[in-house]
Each structure stands twice: as C-alpha cells, then as structure tokens.
Structure 1
Amino acid sequence: MGRLGIGLQLYTLRDDMANDFEGTLRHVAKLGYEGVEFAGYYDRSSVEVKALLDELGLKAFGSHVSLERFRTNLQGEIDFLHTIGAKYAICPYVGAEERESADQWKALIAECEAIAVEVNKQGLQFLYHNHDFEFHHKVNDEFVFDAMFAKTGENAINVEMDVCWVQFAGQDPLAYIAKYAGRLPLVHFKDFTKDAEGKLVTLELGLGDVPLQEVIKAAEKAGVEWLVVEQDNCQKPPLTSIENSLNWVKEHYTNVTN
C-alpha cells in the first residue's frame, strides 16, 4: 500500500491565485505540496498552465468545473484537463435553486450520469464533490449522496468525498469512506468546528473535530489516491494556513510513513 499523494484544492487560495497566479503556484510547490486541484484557471491557457506545472514539478490531478461549464463547454473542459495531465473532472457544487426537491435531484443525478458517460469515454473520470446538503434530501429512500453514486460500472459517477461536510451533516466519514472504497480516488482533507450558532467554521488541520488520522487510515484501505487539503475560509492569511496544514500532514503522516 503506497503513501497517499498530498494535494491542495486551490479554492483555498482563490484571492491569491487571482492576484498572482504564477507566484501562488510557485509558493505551493515550494511548501512541498505534490499536486493541485484547480478551481478555475484565471484566463490562462491549458498550454501555459501545463508549462508552469511541469517547471514546478506539480501534478494537476483534477479540477473543479462548474455545472454551467459542463453544460456549455464540456468538450473544452475535457480538452483542458487532457492538456494539463489531469485525470479527474469534478462537479463541485449545485446551486440552491436547483436542489429544492427530490424531483430536482433526480434530474440532476441523471444529468451528471450523462456527463460522466462522456467524460469517462474520453479517458478521464467524472467525480461529484459533496457538501452537507446532499444529506438534507432523499431520493428513493436514500440520501441524495448515496443516490448520486447508485449506478456502478465504468460510466458511473465516482466520489470525491469531503469528510468535513460529511461529518458536519451528522454522518460518519469513516463509514462512508469504507462504503465507497474503490470508487473514491480523492478525499478532501479538512477540519472544522462549529460556532455558537452551529455554523461551520473551517480550520487548519489538527485544530478541529475531524478524526484526521483515522481518516488517513480509512483512505489508505479504501484505495484513495490523493488527500486534498482545503480550507474554505481561513482565519489567517491563506498562504499561512496551507503551510500550517501541510506541516500537520508532515508531522503526522508523510514524515512518519515508511
């Protein structure tokens, strides 16, 4: 069993990326992250992005692509991912107006299944990334989260699991990791607590309530390829937060793993 790759979801650095795309990626590489998951390309071409990644020794393993982009530019998004060497095309979010009922969810799942067929046919994998709202509705007597992945096989929707949101929704991330073993190449590796009103507060790794070391063990057993560090909102400058979180990973995993 090989060590999991350590990646960064660049949404954490969205302001830095917008202000200094190249400098931010250089900083990420210098810190020691092995790969990145994009959340927008900030008007850079795929050739430009690929050249910079190659120079920095960073692997682009996937990208968050909005449903709107999948709907209007599916082939362009697939081509971009091929050029930068990424394998995973990921739907990151569903707008509130599209997820108010079970019927809306049924339509969305069917749409994502159709996108998955085309993405997977072209040598990539289509993944769906969860929040907590997939546990607020049911389809056919199961959580939307599970209905999303009900179909199996080579053209199925596969899983990018955000353990923070699973736990925030009152579910057991360890059990869910085990449930989707073999279909779960990417895990969003996050920590959180709740504020006085019960709202989510994302934290640097090791400062919150997620059983991070148990998540790592479960991910290894489940065949996960990448732990993807993410912090939706940082209390410190985001570049500081991603460094602190990576230091936790080094101290508790990469520097102590044979």
Structure 2
Amino acid sequence: MRSAIQLYTLRELNDSLPDLLRRVGDTAFEGVEFAGLGDADIEEVQNALDDAGLDVAAAHVGIEDLEADLDGVAETYAALDCERIVVPYLDAAAFASEQAVADTARRLTELGARLDDRGVSLGYHNHDHEFADLGGGSAFETLAEETDFALELDVGWATAAGYDPVDLLGSLRGRVPLVHLKDVSGTTPVELGDGDLEIDACVRAAREAGTEWLVYEHDDPDDPAASLEHGAETLADLLD
C-alpha cells in the first residue's frame, strides 16, 4: 500500500501546479491525486511529476465534465499516466431514495463502461450524505450492491455519517483500490489524530481490503503547508 495526497488539500497555496508537485515531492508522499489541472501545461505537469518522483494515484473529475468530453478527459489524464478517474461528488438528491440510487448506479455504470473502453477505470468518492437511511440500509450500501466499479471510501466522511469505516472496508474487499484517510471531529475535518477516526484500525482494514493507495486529504486545513508535512509524516509512520 502506497501513500498519496489529494491536491484539493493544498488549493489555497499560491504555487503553480508544477511547483505544487515539486513541493509534494519533497515529502514522503509517493503519489498525488489530482483535483483538476487548471490551465497548467500537461507537459510541464508530467515533467514536474518526473522531477518529484511522484506517481498519479487517480484524478477527481466532475461527472458533468466527464459526460461532456469523455474522450478529452481520458486523453488528458492518459498523458499523465493516470489510469483511474474518480467522480468526487454527486449531490444528496442522487441518494435520496431507492429509485434515485438506482438511477445514480445506472448513470455511473454507463460512464464506467465508456471509460473501460478507453483503458481507464472509474471510481466514486463518498461524502456523508451517501449514507442516507433508505429503510433497509444506507444509500451507499445500496450503491455498492448494485454496481461493480471502484469505490474510493472516505473513512472520515463515513465516520461523520455514523458508520464504522473498518466494517465498511471489510465489506468492500476488492472494491477499494483508493481510500481517503481523513480525520473528523463530529462532521468537521481536522488534522489526522485530532478527531474521531480510529486511524490504525482503518489502515489495517484498508490493507486487508486490498487497497493500493492510501490518500491523505484535509478539506479545510488552517495551514495547508503544515498539513502537507503532517499528513506525509503520519502516513509514512503508518505504512512503515
């Protein structure tokens, strides 16, 4: 299992994307997960990845962007040796009922099939609203049952929703190549070790579930540069 950082964590820093990658490369992180490329030149980004010794774990791409220009998105990230694209968010309406989940499952499955044809794997990343109670279980569990694409479990948001991420990881063996390691206090993201997450247990469960990349994320760090260093050091110790 390898460590990466979701670059959304660092969005408030003033660095260009290539400079941001070089900054990450100065830490113990082995890879990155993109949260958009902005207006960065792809060749410069690839050169920065090479200079920093970083691999690309995945890229978060909004579903509207994927549906509007799937070929363009796939080609862009293929140029960066990125083989996984993750839909980072769908709003609560997509999980509000069994019919809504069925529609969401179909929409994502069709998108995943189109990406498969282009040699790219689809994933979906949860927040807390996917765990809405549908009477016979959560919307997230229903989505998992009705699909076979990868699920990038965010253990922090699962914890915030009142679910045990260790149990979830156990039920998702083989489905979670990427896991977001995030800590929360209640529903507020905090630095790893400052919140409610049972970090060691989550890491063990992720390893047992076959996770390839443990991805650090902090949605709203007070000091992104310090969060980068803390996250890198914490994951290095956890994976040692």
| Contact 1:186–1:224 (Cα < 8 Å) also in 2 | yes
Q: Which residue of 2 aligns with 1:242?
A: 228
Counterpart in the other structure of 1:193: 185
- Return the alpha-carbon distance in structure 2 between the equivalents of residues 137 and 70 of structure 1: 29
Task: State the SS of the aligned residue for 1:84.
Answer: coil
Displacement of 1:205 = 1.1
Deviations 1:129-176 (A, max 9, x none): 00111111539x442212222245xxx321100000111111110010
CA–CA separation in structure 2 for the residues paired with 1:83 and 1:14: 22
Contact 1:186 1:226 in 2 (8 A): yes
> Which segment is superposed worse, 83-92 or 103-112?
103-112
Query: Does the Cα contact within 8 Å between 1:61 and 1:85 map onto a contact in 2?
Result: no
Name the Cα RMSD after superposition: 1.8
- CA distance in 1 between counterparts of 2:235 and 2:93 reads 37
SS in structure 2 at match of 1:149: helix
2:211 pairs with one of 186, 206, 224: 224
1:12 paired residue number: 9
Checking the alignment, whether the CA contact within 8 Å between 1:6 and 1:33 is kept in structure 2 is yes
Judged with a 3 Å threshold, the aligned counterparts in structure 2 of structure 1 residues 205 and 29 are, in CA distance, closer, same or farther, namely same
Residue 127 (structure 2) aligns with: 131
Aligned residues: 240
How far does residue 97 in structure 1 lie from its aligned partner after superposition?
Answer: 5.5
AA aligned to 2:226 is T
Indicate the structure whose relative CO is greater, using CA pairs within 8 Å and at least 6 residues apart.
2
Take 2:217 and 2:70, find their aligned partners in 1: how far apart are those partners?
Answer: 25
Provide the C-alpha distance between the structure 1 equivalents of 2:168 and 2:68, rounded to a whole number of angstroms.
Answer: 32
Q: Separation in 2 of the partners of 1:124 and 1:177?
A: 23
Sequence identity (%):
32
Q: Which residue of 2 aligns with 1:197?
A: none
Residue 22 of structure 1, CA deviation: 2.2
**DSSP-derived class of the 1:33 partner:** coil
| Distance in 2 separating the partners of 1:81 and 1:37 | 11
* Residue among 25, 34, 51 paired with 2:30: 34
Q: CA deviation at 1:202?
A: 1.1
Distance in 2 separating the partners of 1:177 and 1:100:
23
Question: 1:179 matched to which residue of 2?
Answer: 171
**From 59, 69, 92, the counterpart of 2:65:** 69
Q: CA deviation at 1:238?
A: 0.4
For 2:48, the equivalent position in structure 1 comes to: 52
Go from structure 1 to structure 2 and tell me whether the alpha carbon gap of 1:137 and 1:80 turns closer, same or farther (over 3 Å shift).
Answer: farther
Query: Is the contact made by 2:3 and 2:216 (CA closer than 8 Å) also made in structure 1?
Result: yes
Within 5 Å, which residues of 2 pair with 1:108-123? 108-123=104-119
> Deviation of residue 49 (structure 1)?
1.9
Return the TM-score normalized by structure 1.
0.87
For 1:127, give the aligned amino acid.
G
* TM-score under structure 2 length normalisation: 0.93
Partner residue of 2:160?
A: 168
Structure 2 residues without counterparts, runs of 5 or longer: none
Q: Is 25-34 or 47-56 further displaced after alignment?
A: 47-56
Name the CA distance, whole Å, in 1 between partners of 2:99 and 2:218.
32
